[in-house]
Structure 1
């Protein structure tokens, strides 16, 4: 088990810790690159390759399928490996995969199946990166600063989501979509280089003889199932992600095709909406002190889930500034509520879980809450082609609102402070 570095003395603010700063900068640049690539992907698929509802469903499913397929063993493997080294290797794999898109496009051979295959490769690498990343924060900073670290990292990610799509929309007026994939690859490279500058006291975990991979997976899953608060959070998050995938898989068609807002409009919607995410990350400590950590979980999710009713209503408004404003407003409040929810629930999970189980705990949760997303994407693509985009959006919204029930009817409203030690 890793021990905390001397650099992590509780009296030293995070902004004065070189290792945390290196991680912070690397993730900020990487997230900006990801936003450029995520804007370019639907533009490339819809506008250049003529993707329809089912095509987008398969594309999104391919990018998320790894969480369902390799999510559980990834957690057990990450708990056996050095987490920082795992993140570096995952970044390099994602960089190489992203570079394939502009190379294929410039060679004139890029097809839809190429995007699906590349999305699948990036998805596998992302599984390992994310499991290691969430497990690494409690090893890099002391427990009292875990929520602060998550807030800073999430705030930076939201700032990237604020500026990235707008920058991407502008760049798409002067360069082709494949060029933005090269920028995403560059972000992964910067992340890997910054991680090489991080110093910690993590050591290779001792391997216990006779412990099979299956047994280690069961141990992590048992912790998740056995913790009553985490069990409710996982149930809620899984339902919300399933139905949000049904909704969001169709949004590129709503913005680019049905409302004809173009790549710049798509970028503007994402960027304006991300203002809510930034405010959510900044306001979470303030809100938790006044509302309470427990109540903030269901309240944040309820605010975010109810805001997306503006998405199908924008279709009734038709192309123009009103629809753009409705989409941006819905994205704003959805991002604000979801970020508040995520900062609180991730911080609690990291505090209560024993360090030796962090990788398996995070992987078990990700396998469920992200594993449902490819299913939602396929259902959304199929349903959108069957009954139309508008009705499908309402199905997704209804499910997102219903997802709040497990945390709304549980003990969270009675908890001024969420637990910060293993229960």
Structure 2
């Protein structure tokens, strides 16, 4: 199979990326430039978690928002992942990535700070919260696509697994501690002022990103100018034309479809059938983040022990078999049931994070730098695009056949993600394959 992209040929890109990562030491713990970037990304992740809780609570507690209005706030937060991700990918491939991350965090700081300021002036309306949620979500897309595309030029191919492990670890910590921190801040200073403090955290992140001194290469200029649609198509094409990337994207979409179905139905099952309190449900789901943290620590070790492809397959087996323990548990909230729920969500988190670390590293190592932004955006469009479909599927099946029965069906569907990888060359990989050779495409017809 021929892997096709656009822009300059592969060797030009490899040469261009060397100066950025050449000075990196043997371990990233001793690389001050990565540590600056890592700390800035970690602060941004915590800030995003605080915003996720504080923004809708501002609508509830300050504006007395209805359920439907809170739903609109949450929908506005996630809509950009489907609306603008592919366009952002084109943008990220045409400019340097670190300035985009800095710009995104400055914008998020201003937006989340504007909400409490409007509240103090008694000018805050629910429409302002909708707009803030939509724009913050858009800037989150910009930051996320940029940092995944920036990492290879910062640390080099040899440190991708270590770098992604550290980034996934801080993401897991943010998911564990972010909502709790948001709750403490809201209880201490109320929801609007928690957003103001959160705005300051984004500015601290900006300072750490500004402190990175390793030179980021200029983006490889296109030999012929292409339009937006062609550029987006090239990002999708590089995924489709590669058996490795295509399998990874498909398994990710299937996995996320099943995960959202599981999460949607489990909340109803735990509350209505088992009588578990909302706080208890939150704690059970939170064990997945704890598992994710453990998985981020074990990912590098697993790859060294059994190789890249088998590490991906083993991690997927772990997180795709674990959901079966949830409907198999006794239909009560006894000790055995709770223990099985904790084990299941913990294993889902650990396996999912290990698979994610290796797959992200595989994507980054295979893709030419001039296509990284569009590849990451196209991949995220496929994998995140199935989340609302999973929620609809779980809700529909829950009404049709029952909640526990739907959990059994969903647990079985998880195995489709494993089958996709087994039918692909991914699981046979010992190490990262060669970088895809990008071939130039013709300009748009006039």
TM-score normalised to the size of structure 2? 0.79
Question: In structure 2, what is the equivalent of residue 372 of structure 1?
Answer: 386
Q: Secondary structure at the match of 1:339?
A: helix
Note the C-alpha offset of 1:377: 3.7
Distance 2:111 2:306 in 1: 44
**Highest CA radius of gyration, 1 or 2?**
2
Residues 264-310 of structure 1 show CA distances to partners (whole Å, capped at 9, x for unaligned) of x4553354332211111111111112222112212212211232345
Q: Secondary structure at the match of 1:130?
A: helix
Distance 1:400 1:69 in 2: 27
Kept after mapping to 1: 8 A contact 2:366/2:436: yes
Kept after mapping to 2: 8 A contact 1:166/1:268: no
**1:354 to 2:355 alignment:** no
Question: In structure 2, what is the equivalent of residue 239 of structure 1?
Answer: 254
Question: In structure 1, what is the equivalent of residue 3 of structure 2?
Answer: none
Question: In structure 2, what is the equivalent of residue 416 of structure 1?
Answer: 430
TM-score normalised to the size of structure 1? 0.83
When structure 1 is superposed on structure 2, of 252-261 and 30-39 the one drifting more is 252-261
Specify whether residues 300 and 216 from structure 1 end up closer, same or farther in structure 2 by C-alpha distance, changes over 3 A only: same
**1:219 to 2:237 alignment:** no
Q: 1:154 aligns with which of 132, 157, 168?
A: 168
Question: In structure 2, what is the equivalent of residue 35 of structure 1?
Answer: 49
When structure 1 is superposed on structure 2, of 22-31 and 183-192 the one drifting more is 183-192
Note the C-alpha offset of 1:326: 4.3
Distance 1:379 1:109 in 2: 36
Specify whether residues 64 and 145 from structure 1 end up closer, same or farther in structure 2 by C-alpha distance, changes over 3 A only: same
Specify whether residues 349 and 93 from structure 1 end up closer, same or farther in structure 2 by C-alpha distance, changes over 3 A only: same
**1:124 to 2:138 alignment:** yes
Distance 2:435 2:51 in 1: 39
Question: In structure 1, what is the equivalent of residue 28 of structure 2?
Answer: 14
Residues 82-127 of structure 1 show CA distances to partners (whole Å, capped at 9, x for unaligned) of 211111122233334434565677769775x776554433322122
Kept after mapping to 1: 8 A contact 2:243/2:425: no
Distance 2:409 2:54 in 1: 27
Q: Number of residue pairs matched?
A: 418
Note the C-alpha offset of 1:14: 1.7
Residues 361-393 of structure 1 show CA distances to partners (whole Å, capped at 9, x for unaligned) of 111111111122233345556666777655554
Specify whether residues 50 and 304 from structure 1 end up closer, same or farther in structure 2 by C-alpha distance, changes over 3 A only: farther
**1:229 to 2:244 alignment:** yes
When structure 1 is superposed on structure 2, of 221-230 and 411-420 the one drifting more is 411-420
Distance 1:64 1:391 in 2: 29
When structure 1 is superposed on structure 2, of 222-231 and 151-160 the one drifting more is 151-160
Question: In structure 2, what is the equivalent of residue 292 of structure 1?
Answer: 307
Q: Give 5+ residue unaligned stretches, structure 2.
A: 1-12, 438-446
Question: In structure 2, what is the equivalent of residue 195 of structure 1?
Answer: 209
Kept after mapping to 2: 8 A contact 1:9/1:142: no
Q: Secondary structure at the match of 2:382?
A: helix
Distance 2:196 2:262 in 1: 28
**1:274 to 2:289 alignment:** yes
Distance 1:41 1:333 in 2: 31
Note the C-alpha offset of 1:222: 1.7
Residues 47-66 of structure 1 show CA distances to partners (whole Å, capped at 9, x for unaligned) of 986748x975x665543332
**1:261 to 2:277 alignment:** yes
**1:248 to 2:263 alignment:** yes
Q: Secondary structure at the match of 2:331?
A: helix
Q: Give 5+ residue unaligned stretches, structure 1.
A: none
Q: Secondary structure at the match of 1:370?
A: helix
**1:78 to 2:78 alignment:** no
Calculate the aligned-residue CA RMSD, in Å: 3.7
Kept after mapping to 2: 8 A contact 1:312/1:394: yes
When structure 1 is superposed on structure 2, of 169-178 and 339-348 the one drifting more is 169-178
**1:210 to 2:240 alignment:** no
Question: In structure 1, what is the equivalent of residue 419 of structure 2?
Answer: 405
Q: Secondary structure at the match of 2:149?
A: helix
Distance 2:409 2:103 in 1: 39
Kept after mapping to 2: 8 A contact 1:61/1:377: no
Distance 1:254 1:97 in 2: 37
When structure 1 is superposed on structure 2, of 40-49 and 188-197 the one drifting more is 40-49
Note the C-alpha offset of 1:212: 1.7
**1:24 to 2:35 alignment:** no
**1:316 to 2:331 alignment:** yes
Question: In structure 2, what is the equivalent of residue 91 of structure 1?
Answer: 105
Residues 192-212 of structure 1 show CA distances to partners (whole Å, capped at 9, x for unaligned) of 221111123225433555322
